[in-house]
Structure 1
Amino acid sequence: MKAEILGVRFVHEGWSRFGIATVRLADGAVVEREIEDHGNSVGVLPYDPERKVATLVRELRVPPLFAAGEQVQLEAPAGLIDDGSPEENGRREALEEVGLRLHDLEFVGATYSCASLTTEKLHLYLAPYGRADRAEAGGGAEGEHENIRIVEMPLAELAGMADRAELTDLKTLTLVLALRARHPELFAA
């Protein structure tokens, strides 16, 4: 016997939908599980291989503010996948948030951000850029009140933050570790 969803009742529908699923487990037990659904997303770590820097954002995230009093966290540019492919949406997010026009995206993986709760599948990419790729000011999409601050930092400093467990955003940590594993020459002294 395989697990089977018997029904879902949504208790809130807004930017996210929150529901309670009734599930028959493989052993026959019937249980309830919570589901948060807001669609899939994309995250991209833009890095300049010549200058050995990455461009990230600092942005208010209300859940960490609520849970731990953390005002902002350092993150790779990211957002929901709207129309188009994950790659197209990654390029759009990078342009909106950090003002970079990205060309080549290197796929890292697509993973569930928190499979015990959310349906979100996060598509992750690394993206080289150069000085000529700075196209706009960045700072976020008009009207979204993201209050983004752009941060360009040396890759060695970013790797140090990963080593000291100072990156609190999982997508950013994953992308930094992937960049270091795939392109270790960018981190050499």
Structure 2
Amino acid sequence: MKAEILSFRIIHDGWSQFGLARVRLADGTEAEREIEDHGNSVGVLPYDPERRVATLVRELRVPPLYVSGEQSQLEAPAGLIDDGSPEENARREVLEETGLRLHDLESVGTTYSCAGISTEQIHLFLAPYRTADRETGGGGAEGEHENIKVVEMSLADLAGMAATGQMRDLKTLALVLALQVRHPHLFTAEGDS
């Protein structure tokens, strides 16, 4: 027997939609499961291969503030998909948040951000840039109250954060690890082979 959704009812409909699904499990028993839906998103790690740095952002995240008092976390630029393709939205989000105009995007994949509760699928990209690609100071879209701080840091420091468990944002951790696997030469000392 396969699991199946027997019914679904919305319990909140705002920026996110929350619902309760009645599910028949594979063993025939029934259970309720919560589902959160706010759409799909993109996450991008912009990196400068010549200078061996990446551009990230710091922004208030209320759930970590509520749970542990963390005011912000270092993370890859990201945002919800509006109109257009994931690639178009990735370029728009990075321009709004960091001021960088991206050209090439390397797809890392599309994953569920938290399949136990959310329908969100996040499209992950690596994106090389050059100093000349910076058009503005970034900071977020006007009227969205993001108050984003742009942070450029060395790839070696990012790798160190990933290796020591200091990277608190899952999409950013996945992107840093993907960059290390796909472009390991960016993490070696200049001149090493």
Per the alignment, residue 92 of structure 2 pairs with 92
Per the alignment, residue 115 of structure 1 pairs with 115
Q: What TM-score do the two structures reach when normalised by structure 1? A: 0.99
Alignment of 1:127-146 (within 5 A): 127-146=127-146
Tell me how far apart the structure 2 counterparts of residues 127 and 48 of structure 1 sit (CA, whole Å): 8
Tell me how far apart the structure 2 counterparts of residues 3 and 144 of structure 1 sit (CA, whole Å): 40
Per the alignment, residue 51 of structure 1 pairs with 51
Per the alignment, residue 33 of structure 1 pairs with 33
- The 3-state SS of whatever aligns with 1:8 is strand
- The 3-state SS of whatever aligns with 1:65 is helix
- The 3-state SS of whatever aligns with 2:168 is coil
Count of aligned pairs: 189
**Which letter does structure 2 place at the counterpart of 1:80?**
L
Per the alignment, residue 174 of structure 1 pairs with 174
Residue 148 in structure 1 maps to residue 143 in structure 2? no
Q: What TM-score do the two structures reach when normalised by structure 2? A: 0.97
Taking every aligned residue pair, what percent have the same amino acid on both sides?
A: 75
How far 1:60 moved relative to its partner? 0.7
- Once the two structures are superposed, residues 45-80 of structure 1 have per-residue CA deviations (whole angstroms, 9 ceiling, x without a partner) of 000000000000011100001111111000000000
- The runs of 4+ residues in structure 1 deviating greater than 3 Å are none
* Aligned-CA RMSD value: 0.6
Unaligned segments of structure 2, at least 5 residues: none
Unaligned segments of structure 1, at least 5 residues: none
Tell me how far apart the structure 1 counterparts of residues 88 and 18 of structure 2 sit (CA, whole Å): 28
**Which letter does structure 2 place at the counterpart of 1:137?**
G
Tell me how far apart the structure 2 counterparts of residues 181 and 27 of structure 1 sit (CA, whole Å): 40
Tell me how far apart the structure 2 counterparts of residues 179 and 29 of structure 1 sit (CA, whole Å): 43
Tell me how far apart the structure 1 counterparts of residues 68 and 111 of structure 2 sit (CA, whole Å): 25
How far 1:25 moved relative to its partner? 1.1
- The 3-state SS of whatever aligns with 1:114 is coil
